[in-house]
Amino acid sequence: MSASSTRPTFDFDAWVTLARQDPQAFEEKRKCIIEDAIQGAPAHKQQRLRCLQWKLDKIRETSRTPMIACLQINRLLWENVTGEHGLLNSLQLLQADQPVRRSRRTKAEVITLHS
pLDDT in tens, the chain (115 residues): 455 556 668 899 999 999 999 999 999 999 999 999 999 999 999 999 999 999 999 999 999 999 999 999 999 999 888 888 788 888 888 888 766 565 566 788 888 888 6
Structural domain of residue 18, as residue ranges? 11-40
Position 113 in a domain: no
Residue 53 and residue 71 in one domain: yes
Predicted model pTM: 0.66
Residue 71 and residue 92 in one domain: yes
Q: Residues 6 or more apart from 81 whose CB is under 8 A from it?
A: 87, 88
Question: Can you tell me the distance from the alpha carbon of 38 to that of 30, in angstroms, rounded to the nearest whole number?
Answer: 12
CB 63 within 8 Å of CB 69: yes
